[in-house]
Structure 1
Amino acid sequence: MNKKEPRNITLKQVLLWFTGLLMASLLVVNFFLNVSSAKSYMQQQLGSHAQDAATSLGLLLSTVIEASDLVSAELMIDAMFDHGYYRHIIYYDVNGQAKVLRHAPMKIEGVPSWFVEQIALEAPEGKAEIMNGWAQLGSVSVMSHPGYAYIKLWESLKVELVWFALIAAVAFLVMQLVITTILLPLTRIENQAKAVRNRDFSYRAPMPKTRELKRVAVAMNSMSDRLGKMFSEQLSLIEHLRAQSFHDPITGLGNRAEFDGRLKAELESQQSAAVGSLCLIQLGDFGNYNQQHGRRSGDDLLVAMAEEIKASVAPIAGAFVARRSGSDFSVFLPGVVDDQADKFASELLHKLSGLHLVKQMCRNDVLHIGVASTLTNMPLPVFLSEADMALRSAQAAGPNGWQRYVTDSSFATPGEAVRQANEWQQILLDTLAEKNITFHYQPVYSGDRSTILHHQVLSRIEVNGELVVAGAFIPMAERFSMLADFDRLVVEKIIGLAESRGDERRYCVNLSVHSLADERFVEWFLIKMQQHPEAARSLIFEVSEYSLQLASEALERVVAASSTLGYEVSIDKFGVAAVPFAYLQHLSIHYIKVDHSFIRDIQHSRDNQFFLRSVLQIAHGQDIQVIAVGVEFEDEWDSIEPLGIDGAMGYYLGRPQEHTD
């Protein structure tokens, strides 16, 4: 599970703390200087007050002391003591003996004792001699009471603290505003760096007003432009070289080599049983058409036929088309058999016959289609031969038409005969009602085979006591619009499995294109992931590259939600959907699984080796892991391992098992 990263302090926080502490220090120092200054002033005032009082009292007492009137002297001293604010007033005779003493306790109302202890005002003593002419009659000592000074200082302190708090708050807000404004360009540059990390090179940082940050923004924008250009050029180069190797230059379809390689991988794969139909399409007398109408018109005819064929197969996920040679085309329809294949051939023949350029030939015996179907693996030459025999039968019949190759064993699977469509429908309904689906798990190993990255989840259903692989029942589920229901069942069961185990195992589950195209399924899926966050973090959801053509908006939504909900996303059948690889820039996917047609016999194909090496280079630059699918022989593994593959799966590395232990 992912560990929570420690939170680092930001530059804004550092600047705010530094400037805040600096401002606070200045205010505190200023505060203490003000208190010290006020204390010194108060002490001077106390001393001056005491000395003035002593001098004045000495003059007043001189007449009564001369007359030895001690009572009048006491009355004068009492009058001054009662109407002033003194700590003590003392009259000494000429011998230094205290004759009159008035003393007030050190009691201060409204001032905390700790404040009095900390400030500790020292009230100076004022002294004056009592004279009669040149004769000394005695002396007086006066000390002002510091209580009033303490009260004034305490009130001043409270006012200072209020102003200190207000100034500090205003200063902090101003500093925050100023620092935020100054650092805003840095935030935008940071966002640009994050966008580059996420393969988005379109973000541009605005130009700051400060010279230094402006230079950084210019450098970042320039770097982003260069990276985006390099990435686009890299993608264009790979697609161009791939097109040169595997595509027909006139129609843009795959060529014969690419088609046969992919079909061979489908038919001979040990991963699953091949189910589907092969159509061979031939326009007769094409050489004569070129002579009569010119080569350019002939090319236009081929392009028109190619566009019509592509449009016809577009709704069928995983279908692929090629121009074999001249006016010959081939189509493989995965999961399409029986009456569905018949319907496809009939409709395609009707559409091609209606093309304006075909009608120019003024013949109704030039367009023919041969169809062969299979429910199990078979050698490529045998499958092509069956479709070719069906094509020859259609041509022998004369007019534009199609024929299907049929034998008693054409639709036999090991141990059972083909079931009729209504039987399959009931089987699938019962399976959904009883939730009777089981899993096998195939390990996906790391590039050095030291660890298992995750387990590929392979669905099985039980029919008459036998387990039927997904390749056999999924086409029927698609036919009866049950794929979303089966995907719901699989997701629910794998969530339960992940939660019950509670360990570090990770599981990869395939979601069909039809489910992604169902808005209700996508809503349900995202809610389910939100409800089970722990399970979501152990799951990888795999979607076919064809999803980018048939359900691109839903796929983008699922990928975007993965960062917050915790699951990861993998693109399956990478490289065969004729989709520009530019989507790797803006989709934050985690894995791409290279289609097994590129892995089959890769030791003999320099083109496929170059393709895989280029994909690795691009993917690693986007922080995407590349996994090779269908590694079934040692020679294939020996060829891909040195390329730096991130992971691989196939019968050579590990067969599907009932348990992950």
Structure 2
Amino acid sequence: MTLRRQLLIAISIIFAVVFFGLQTLSVLSTKDFLKQQLASHAQDAATSLSKSLEDALSKQDLVLAEIQISSMFDRGYFQKIMVISPRGETLISKEMPVAIENVPSLFSHALPLDTPPGEALISSGWRQLGKLVVVSQPTFAYQYLWASFKNAMWWMISMYLISIVLTILLLRLILNPLLQIENAALEIRNKRFTRIEVLPSARELRRVVTAMNAMSGKISEILDAEVAKAEDYRKQAYTDKVTGLDNRQGFDLRFNHLLDEKNFSEAVIFVLEIDGLKEFNNARGYRSGDAVLATITRQVEESFGSHISISGRIGGAAFAFVLLEKDLGWVQTSLLELSSSLQDYFQLNDIHKLMSFCIGGSEFTPDKIRPEIFTKADMAIETARQSAAREPVLFKTSDTTVVEGSGAWRSLIVDALAENRWALFVQSVVSLADGKLFQHEIFSRLVDKDGKYVPAGKFMPMALRHQLMEDIDKAVISATLDMLAAAGNKYKEVAINISVQSIANPQFIEWLTDKLKHAREFGRMLSFELSEMGCARDIDVTSDFVNVLRQHHVKFGIDHFGLDSHSLEVLREVPPDYIKLDGGLVKGILDNPVAHDHLRSIIRLAASLEIPVIAQNVESQELKMQLFEDSVNYGQGYFLGEPEKA
């Protein structure tokens, strides 16, 4: 229960106690007062009337006496008036039953109002003629008592409502800093170290906020230092110092990862080569040559901007750029504009006499291998170099082959979805310290009509092209939940790779939410993984997806971590439950000290955020021992366990 609700309940209880206490005191005191008034009223009436009855009773004229009594009784203020003879006989009696109007019977029964009688002796000289008894009517007293009770009740209720409203406003003012403190604490728990900007006016809360800001700021400074150190190692290992692009090793890692993952349907690579760079450096100096390279890089980035997925300086005078899912006609037009702007720059700065450039590229699909792609790009560059105009040359894939292959793959995938022809394989992720199981990663295989398994790397590109990834992810998730239901306690935790194409679709998120609601018993056994490239592509979509997973106690992991220049930013923005280091990055640490330093910096940062690290592609005892020495928590690879049929 929130503090706000507890305070409001406490105030309500206090008001209720005060209300019933005041009402009880008020009603009882008013009741005593009215009782005295009724007694006084009856006695006054008896004394007054007894004088009037002396003559009538002395003459034994009961008719006259009754007329005198009626004239007073008919006013309605009396319940009973009676005359009793000295012998105790009732001579005259007038009585009106008690009729309490406009007063609830429950109220009158709960507060019985006794009306004491007023008595007076009727005498003539020394002779006693009788006794007069007068009882006042309590109706008006009850009505007055009820009206007094209602007025006090409504006044108290009004004061209560006003007090509650004022209390809510005051609590909102006072407790708002507490809400910010709570949010800041939750952010710290989620490994985001934010500051509380508004300091509360209350001294105690101000001290708490100041202390939390100091703690958050200190931790954030430490993490920023770790991030900066890790980024510095990454740049040393994989970044070209002159242009800021990836160097050859960094480009190769990311390009190979792209071809391995096949999370695209079409891509274009273009290479920009500079002729005469050595002569230019000899004539004008290396600083001038570096300035030209930096300017060329800047103009390429201005022409293509965020459309470039991978970029790198792959040689002293060669640059390569990869664009995903871009129209070939648009790329050709943009390359012509880039070529024109570079020619103007060369002419304006008198560079063209010593240096020239050529641009060539090729469209490729996921089924192509690296040598084939670069061979075609090199051919395009040579074609451009040999042409008189030196315009960019861009080769495209064979249209016939692509269309036929695309249609066949689409039919295969659609049929598999319709007939639910999917097979699940699992590979163990184990502790490098003691070999204990951490999780199983799910690998899906399409089963063709002949019963043969088709690896994801073959059908995934065409699934992306035909927008079928959402349906495939649904099929794999459903099959995994069925597997867990049938397996009992066989699996501790399973990890499922999921596509960014799926999580960007609100309908898929709605489907997944409903699926997780109906499979709550498996929520803590599930982990969903997104590739680092997918996370970096749209952090907001990733963050929303992770929030959905957190609501159902499902874990989130980042796959192929450590290659993207924004990877450390992703780690801070969307803290995962674990990260899986890219296999290419892991395999390179034995031969590349700088790459090894980069990996160690990632491990240190993950440790400071309490994020477990899993190394992929652990294929030897030597690599396993090195990773263990580097404090990597878990490993995955053929050396530790091959994929098995689920």
TM-score (structure 1 length as normaliser): 0.70
Which residue identity is paired with 1:431? L
Whole-Å separation in 2 of the counterparts to 1:178 and 1:353:
65
Whole-Å separation in 2 of the counterparts to 1:232 and 1:259:
26
| SS of the residue 1:431 aligns to | helix
Given that 2:440 and 2:494 are in contact with CA atoms closer than 8 Å, whether structure 1 keeps it comes out as: yes
- After TM superposition, give the deviation of residue 592 of structure 1 in Å: 3.2
Alignment-derived partner of residue 497 in structure 1: 479
Whole-Å separation in 1 of the counterparts to 2:303 and 2:56:
134
Alignment-derived partner of residue 445 in structure 1: 429
Which structure 2 residues correspond to residues 188-199 of structure 1 after superposition, within 5 A? 188-197=180-189
Whole-Å separation in 2 of the counterparts to 1:367 and 1:145:
114
Alignment-derived partner of residue 570 in structure 2: 583
Whole-Å separation in 2 of the counterparts to 1:161 and 1:421:
84
Alignment-derived partner of residue 529 in structure 1: 509
| SS of the residue 2:645 aligns to | coil
- After TM superposition, give the deviation of residue 580 of structure 1 in Å: 5.8
Alignment-derived partner of residue 415 in structure 2: 434
Whole-Å separation in 2 of the counterparts to 1:103 and 1:594:
106
Which segment drifts farther, 195-204 or 47-56? 195-204
| SS of the residue 2:131 aligns to | strand
Given that 2:529 and 2:556 are in contact with CA atoms closer than 8 Å, whether structure 1 keeps it comes out as: yes
Which structure 2 residues correspond to residues 45-444 of structure 1 after superposition, within 5 A? 45-69=37-61, 72-94=64-86, 97-100=88-91, 102=93, 104=95, 106-110=97-101, 111-133=103-125, 136-197=128-189, 204-254=196-246, 289-300=280-291, 303=294, 321=312, 327=316, 356=346, 362=354, 424-435=405-416, 438-443=422-427
| SS of the residue 2:441 aligns to | strand
| SS of the residue 2:568 aligns to | coil
Which residue identity is paired with 2:412? T
Which residue identity is paired with 1:509? N
Whole-Å separation in 2 of the counterparts to 1:157 and 1:502:
67
Distance 1:649 1:561, change over 3 A: same
- After TM superposition, give the deviation of residue 644 of structure 1 in Å: 5.6
Which residue identity is paired with 1:457? F
Alignment-derived partner of residue 329 in structure 2: none
Given that 1:278 and 1:330 are in contact with CA atoms closer than 8 Å, whether structure 2 keeps it comes out as: no
Distance 1:489 1:185, change over 3 A: closer
Given that 1:89 and 1:141 are in contact with CA atoms closer than 8 Å, whether structure 2 keeps it comes out as: yes
- After TM superposition, give the deviation of residue 43 of structure 1 in Å: 0.3
Alignment-derived partner of residue 581 in structure 2: 594
Alignment-derived partner of residue 483 in structure 1: 465
| SS of the residue 1:151 aligns to | helix
* Aligned alpha-carbon RMSD (Å): 5.4
Alignment-derived partner of residue 508 in structure 1: 496
Unaligned runs of 5+ in 2: 326-331, 388-399, 486-490, 518-522
Whole-Å separation in 2 of the counterparts to 1:489 and 1:58:
105
Distance 1:151 1:427, change over 3 A: closer
Alignment-derived partner of residue 5 in structure 2: 13
Whole-Å separation in 2 of the counterparts to 1:219 and 1:30:
46
| SS of the residue 2:644 aligns to | coil
Whole-Å separation in 2 of the counterparts to 1:650 and 1:102:
113
TM-score (structure 2 length as normaliser): 0.72
Which residue identity is paired with 1:483? R
- After TM superposition, give the deviation of residue 582 of structure 1 in Å: 2.2
Alignment-derived partner of residue 650 in structure 1: 637
Given that 2:439 and 2:495 are in contact with CA atoms closer than 8 Å, whether structure 1 keeps it comes out as: no
- After TM superposition, give the deviation of residue 427 of structure 1 in Å: 3.7
Whole-Å separation in 2 of the counterparts to 1:59 and 1:30:
44
Unaligned runs of 5+ in 1: 1-8, 337-342, 403-418
- After TM superposition, give the deviation of residue 454 of structure 1 in Å: 4.9
Task: State whether structure 2 residue 583 is matched by structure 1 residue 629.
Answer: no
Given that 1:43 and 1:123 are in contact with CA atoms closer than 8 Å, whether structure 2 keeps it comes out as: yes
Alignment-derived partner of residue 572 in structure 1: 559
Distance 1:312 1:181, change over 3 A: closer
Whole-Å separation in 2 of the counterparts to 1:452 and 1:580:
24
Which segment drifts farther, 229-238 or 71-80? 71-80
Given that 2:56 and 2:62 are in contact with CA atoms closer than 8 Å, whether structure 1 keeps it comes out as: yes
Given that 2:76 and 2:137 are in contact with CA atoms closer than 8 Å, whether structure 1 keeps it comes out as: no
Distance 1:374 1:443, change over 3 A: closer
Given that 1:128 and 1:141 are in contact with CA atoms closer than 8 Å, whether structure 2 keeps it comes out as: yes
- After TM superposition, give the deviation of residue 595 of structure 1 in Å: 0.8
Whole-Å separation in 1 of the counterparts to 2:175 and 2:366:
66
Which residue identity is paired with 1:656? P
Cα offsets for 1:389-436 (capped at 9, x unmatched): x99x99xx9x9689xxxxxxxxxxxxxxxx965664454244245337
| SS of the residue 1:457 aligns to | strand
Given that 2:274 and 2:357 are in contact with CA atoms closer than 8 Å, whether structure 1 keeps it comes out as: no
Alignment-derived partner of residue 392 in structure 2: none
| SS of the residue 1:508 aligns to | strand
Given that 2:81 and 2:95 are in contact with CA atoms closer than 8 Å, whether structure 1 keeps it comes out as: no
Distance 1:162 1:185, change over 3 A: same
- After TM superposition, give the deviation of residue 180 of structure 1 in Å: 2.6
Distance 1:467 1:612, change over 3 A: same
Which residue identity is paired with 1:592? I
Given that 1:290 and 1:298 are in contact with CA atoms closer than 8 Å, whether structure 2 keeps it comes out as: yes
Which residue identity is paired with 1:52? D
Distance 1:75 1:420, change over 3 A: closer
Given that 1:457 and 1:507 are in contact with CA atoms closer than 8 Å, whether structure 2 keeps it comes out as: no
Whole-Å separation in 2 of the counterparts to 1:364 and 1:135:
150
Which segment drifts farther, 55-64 or 45-54? 55-64
Whole-Å separation in 2 of the counterparts to 1:294 and 1:588:
46
Whole-Å separation in 2 of the counterparts to 1:40 and 1:489:
82
Whole-Å separation in 1 of the counterparts to 2:342 and 2:155:
93
Alignment-derived partner of residue 36 in structure 1: 28
Which residue identity is paired with 1:530? E
Which residue identity is paired with 1:139? K
Which residue identity is paired with 1:234? E
Cα offsets for 1:452-504 (capped at 9, x unmatched): 535333445759876453445656x49xxx53534244224224425655749
Distance 1:637 1:262, change over 3 A: farther
Whole-Å separation in 2 of the counterparts to 1:507 and 1:51:
95
- After TM superposition, give the deviation of residue 576 of structure 1 in Å: 1.2
- After TM superposition, give the deviation of residue 39 of structure 1 in Å: 0.4
Whole-Å separation in 2 of the counterparts to 1:127 and 1:191:
78
Whole-Å separation in 1 of the counterparts to 2:49 and 2:530:
106
Which residue identity is paired with 2:496? C
Alignment-derived partner of residue 413 in structure 1: none
Distance 1:117 1:657, change over 3 A: same
Whole-Å separation in 2 of the counterparts to 1:439 and 1:317:
35
